[in-house]
């Protein structure tokens, strides 16, 4: 059998041209640790055993873990060249193929419970994804045949006129969200085979997603402007207590976004603009109503208008599955629209909610990452020593890698800034390469050196983040005019070896206020106080302007200074002299206090109850409020 000897999948699968990104510095170390201690360390026999046993009678989701792992393992094998990982991928494929029944089924449910109330279709979705990732890497026809056979099984059981006598959207949970999200790999299968039956099946799934009154309603609800947190049936919230497994609700964040991923894949083939519009409007609503300052969202994995409630201690905040899926959703929208606001969202989420969920040694992801509290291990799922979040987590880093540097339309684009070697191929076989050195966002600049020669004039596009008040771009020491925040700045230049681009960002510390609470961001990074600083009471209120405090919106950057980090697992640290404390009538008490902040991703990095952190701080009320 042909094994993975040369992976053909580039890290920028969605781009017109192929490119390669090699991270260095802080993020390079983070990624290498995660690959080695999490992805490579996965016990392949353990996560594939359920497919061979077929004993699931509780309606659980054991069969999602292998497919999720494959989504990241295949490209990380390309990235790292790790032989152990290559062998584990091959071994996993052998076990999955061996588990496939003659009728095409791959899963762990007994026949009488298949394609029903549980997570069986959801598991087949991830299995289909895993098979197609491997096929893309090796072009093994037997693996593609297995994927087709599995999809044919689903069509025969719950497709049009299927044996089970039910429609696909009527299976699984959350008004059909979970099962309907199989649309994404079904479209992948169609794009690889061009067999009409798979496009027909996709059309059937889309109809179930958009037409039935009690179904997912992913089209009309979005186009009518109904916020994602308000899409449940009218009697749902008044009569039903929220449960993780729910048949009727439509507030499950992860599964909803997974469905829109599939709808965007379908739009790319069919051109149905209403589906594209619904996905964009949904993404924009999530930004407005749900995304917090850490770029995270969801409470107990459900939408809840979280942006306006982020200062409060809601239960189970920022599930890592939601964080990763939000990044994937933004990545797809960035590729399709070219709108840099989606890159802004990926950046914010990556540097905050995502990196915060990753354990410092790279070995696992937290299930939830509260905005204040402490980091902790995820739960065990399905009587297994793993969970959906630690399986899903590595997929998020891929979004950052794939969008950091892209080549398409005969232009090269930097969306993110960090130390990295990048190269790409344009039309006509022309090659471009750059070496970026940057400590961003710890510092406010990046230096890009051209390793390109003989490619002719190539536009280089630099994303200027929307949060940036102003930015400066220099080419070979000369400042270039017209740099504006919230868009791309293009340098149209015939690149020579050694040309130098310098980018410098205005990176202010901004005060955010929400119902008498304040929080601070610096550039894309949310700041947090951490108990390891030992700098006093984190519950003390900030003073009002009338009592020597600051007014929200006033510049406070001058109050913050970068300082040496006190521990190795802290990325950045700042001292700040701020108006804290309620005894401002006393001459001593009226003085400002010096406290310390770190980046949110580093806060609570000891992963223990005693290591407490806080991002939102109380502000005192006046007697006129």
Q: What is the DSSP letter of 381?
A: B
| Cα distance between residue 71 and residue 496, in whole Å | 37
User: What is the secondary structure of 276-302 as a DSSP string?
Assistant: HHHHHHHHHHHHHHT--TTS---BTTB
Same-domain pairing of 493 and 542: no
| Cα distance between residue 531 and residue 603, in whole Å | 9
> Using an 8 Å Cβ cutoff, are 60 and 113 in contact?
no
**338 located within any domain:** no
Residue 477: count other Cβ atoms within 10 Å of its Cβ.
7
Residue 359: count other Cβ atoms within 10 Å of its Cβ.
21
**80 located within any domain:** yes
Alpha-carbon dihedral 166, 172, 174, 178, rounded to 10 degrees = -110
Instruction: Identify the CA nearest to 424 among candidates 448, 397, 451, 447.
Output: 451
Please list the residues that pair with 92 across neighbouring strands: none
Residue 550: count other Cβ atoms within 10 Å of its Cβ.
19
Same-domain pairing of 480 and 518: no
Q: How many domains does the chain have?
A: 3
Same-domain pairing of 518 and 436: no
Query: Looking at 453, 481, 505, which one is the last position of a domain?
Result: 505
> Using an 8 Å Cβ cutoff, are 403 and 343 in contact?
yes
Same-domain pairing of 614 and 525: yes
User: What is the secondary structure of 170-189 as a DSSP string?
Assistant: GSSSTTTHHHHTTHHHHHHH
What value does the CA radius of gyration of the chain take, rounded to a whole number of Å?
A: 25
Q: How many residues does the chain have?
A: 625
**160 located within any domain:** yes
> Using an 8 Å Cβ cutoff, are 320 and 367 in contact?
yes
| Cα distance between residue 201 and residue 145, in whole Å | 17
**575-605: per-residue pLDDT in tens?**
999 999 888 888 888 899 999 999 999 999 9
Residue 531: count other Cβ atoms within 10 Å of its Cβ.
16
| Cα distance between residue 253 and residue 265, in whole Å | 19
**405 located within any domain:** no
**321 located within any domain:** no
User: Do the bridges between strand 487-494 and strand 457-464 make them parallel or antiparallel, or are there none, so unpaired?
Assistant: antiparallel
> Using an 8 Å Cβ cutoff, are 114 and 157 in contact?
yes
Range of the domain at 425: 411-505
Residue 45: count other Cβ atoms within 10 Å of its Cβ.
11
> Using an 8 Å Cβ cutoff, are 2 and 380 in contact?
no
Same-domain pairing of 459 and 527: no
Instruction: Identify the CA nearest to 535 among candidates 604, 597, 603, 591.
Output: 597
E strands of 122-196, at which residues? none
Same-domain pairing of 460 and 557: no
CA 404 to chain centre: 14
Query: Looking at 505, 523, 540, which one is the last position of a domain?
Result: 505
**162 located within any domain:** yes
User: What is the secondary structure of 54-89 as a DSSP string?
Assistant: ----S---GGGHHHHHHHHHHHHHHHH--HHHHHHH
**504-529: per-residue pLDDT in tens?**
999 999 999 999 999 999 999 999 99
Same-domain pairing of 450 and 585: no
Query: Looking at 132, 166, 200, which one is the last position of a domain?
Result: 166
Show the tokens assigned to 559.
């109050």
φ and ψ of 204, to 5 deg: -65, -40
Please list the residues that pair with 575 across neighbouring strands: 561, 596
Residue 360: count other Cβ atoms within 10 Å of its Cβ.
17
Same-domain pairing of 461 and 558: no
Same-domain pairing of 535 and 462: no
**402 located within any domain:** no
Instruction: Identify the CA nearest to 275 among candidates 321, 338, 211, 228.
Output: 211
User: What is the secondary structure of 493-547 as a DSSP string?
Assistant: EE--TT-EEEEEE---EEEEESSSEEEEEETTEEEEEEGGG--S-TTPPBPPGGG
User: Do the bridges between strand 617-618 and strand 573-578 make them parallel or antiparallel, or are there none, so unpaired?
Assistant: unpaired
Please list the residues that pair with 112 across neighbouring strands: none
| Cα distance between residue 608 and residue 256, in whole Å | 32
| Cα distance between residue 602 and residue 426, in whole Å | 38
Query: In sequence order, which residues have a C-beta less than 8 Å from that of residue 200 and are 6 or more positions away?
Result: none
Show the tokens assigned to 149.
């056979």
> Using an 8 Å Cβ cutoff, are 378 and 390 in contact?
yes
Same-domain pairing of 479 and 564: no
Residue 486 vs residues 238, 277, 283, 329, 453: alpha-carbon distances, Å = 41, 22, 17, 20, 30
Instruction: Identify the CA nearest to 325 among candidates 225, 401, 399.
Output: 399
**13 located within any domain:** no
Report, as ranges of residue numbers, the positions in the chain whose pLDDT lies below 50. Answer: 1-15
> Using an 8 Å Cβ cutoff, are 464 and 471 in contact?
yes
Collapsed DSSP state (helix, strand, coil) of residue 135: helix
**What is the pLDDT, as a whole number, of residue 13?**
35
Half-sphere exposure of 239 (CA within 13 A, CB side): 8
Same-domain pairing of 90 and 152: yes
Q: What is the CATH number of the domain that holds 438?
A: 2.60.40
**What is the pLDDT, as a whole number, of residue 1?**
39
Q: What is the DSSP letter of 460?
A: E
Same-domain pairing of 519 and 612: yes
| Cα distance between residue 201 and residue 128, in whole Å | 15
């Amino acid at each position: 059998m042909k094994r993975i000897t040369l992976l053909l999948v580039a890290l920028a699968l969605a781009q017109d041209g192929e490119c390669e990104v090699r991270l260095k510095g802080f993020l390079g170390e983070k990624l290498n640790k995660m690959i080695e201690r999490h992805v490579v360390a996965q016990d392949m026999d353990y996560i594939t055993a359920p497919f061979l046993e077929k004993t699931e009678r509780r309606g659980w989701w054991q069969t999602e873990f292998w497919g999720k792992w494959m989504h990241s393992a295949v490209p990380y094998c390309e990235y790292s060249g790790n032989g152990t990982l290559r062998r584990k991928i091959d071994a996993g494929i052998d076990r999955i193929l061996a588990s496939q029944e003659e009728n095409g089924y791959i899963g762990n449910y007994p026949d009488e419970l298949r394609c029903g109330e549980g997570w069986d279709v959801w598991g087949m979705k991830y299995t289909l994804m895993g098979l197609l990732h491997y096929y893309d890497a090796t072009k093994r026809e037997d693996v593609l045949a297995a994927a087709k056979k599995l999809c044919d099984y689903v069509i025969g059981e719950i497709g049009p006129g299927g044996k089970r006598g039910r429609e696909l959207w009527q299976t699984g949970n959350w008004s059909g969200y979970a099962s309907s999200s199989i649309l994404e790999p079904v479209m992948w299968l169609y794009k690889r085979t061009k067999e009409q039956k798979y496009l027909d099946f996709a059309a059937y799934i889309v109809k179930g997603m958009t037409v039935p009154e009690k179904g997912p309603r992913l089209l009309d609800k979005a186009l009518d402007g109904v916020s994602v947190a308000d899409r449940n049936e009218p009697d749902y919230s008044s009569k039903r207590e929220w449960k993780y497994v729910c048949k009727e609700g439509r507030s499950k964040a992860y599964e909803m976004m997974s469905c829109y991923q599939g709808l965007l894949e379908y739009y790319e083939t069919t051109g149905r603009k209403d589906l594209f519009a619904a996905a964009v409007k949904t993404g924009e609503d999530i930004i407005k109503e749900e995304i917090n300052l850490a770029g995270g969202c969801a409470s107990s994995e459900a939408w809840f208008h979280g942006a306006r409630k982020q200062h409060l201690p809601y239960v189970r905040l920022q599930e890592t599955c939601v964080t990763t899926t939000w990044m994937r959703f933004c990545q797809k929208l960035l590729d399709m629209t070219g709108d840099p606001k989606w890159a802004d969202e990926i950046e914010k989420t990556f540097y905050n909610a995502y990196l915060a969920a990753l354990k410092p040694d790279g070995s696992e992801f937290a299930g939830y990452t509260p905005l204040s509290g402490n980091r902790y291990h995820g739960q065990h799922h399905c009587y297994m020593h793993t969970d959906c979040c630690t399986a899903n987590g590595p997929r998020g880093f891929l979004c950052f890698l794939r969008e950091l540097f892209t080549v398409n339309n005969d232009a090269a684009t930097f969306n993110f800034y960090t130390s990295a070697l990048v190269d790409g191929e344009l039309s006509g076989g022309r090659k471009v390469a750059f070496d970026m050195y940057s400590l961003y966002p710890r510092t406010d600049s990046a230096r890009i050196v051209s390793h390109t020669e003989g490619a002719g004039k190539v536009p280089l596009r630099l994303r200027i983040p929307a949060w940036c008040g102003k930015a400066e771009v220099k080419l070979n020491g000369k400042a270039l005019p017209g740099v504006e925040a919230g868009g791309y700045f293009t340098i149209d230049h015939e690149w020579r070896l050694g040309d130098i681009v310098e980018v410098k960002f205005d990176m202010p510390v901004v005060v955010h206020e929400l119902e008498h609470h304040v929080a601070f961001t610096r550039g894309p990074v949310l700041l947090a106080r951490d108990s390891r600083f030992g700098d006093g009471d984190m519950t003390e209120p900030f003073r009002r302007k009338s009592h020597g405090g600051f007014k929200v919106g006033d510049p406070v950057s001058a109050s913050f200074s970068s300082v040496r980090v006190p521990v190795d697992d802290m990325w950045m640290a700042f001292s700040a002299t701020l108006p804290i404390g309620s005894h401002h009538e006393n001459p001593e008490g009226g003085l400002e206090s010096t406290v310390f902040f770190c980046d949110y991703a580093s806060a609570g990095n000891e992963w223990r109850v005693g290591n407490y952190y806080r991002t939102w701080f109380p502000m005192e009320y006046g007697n006129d409020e």
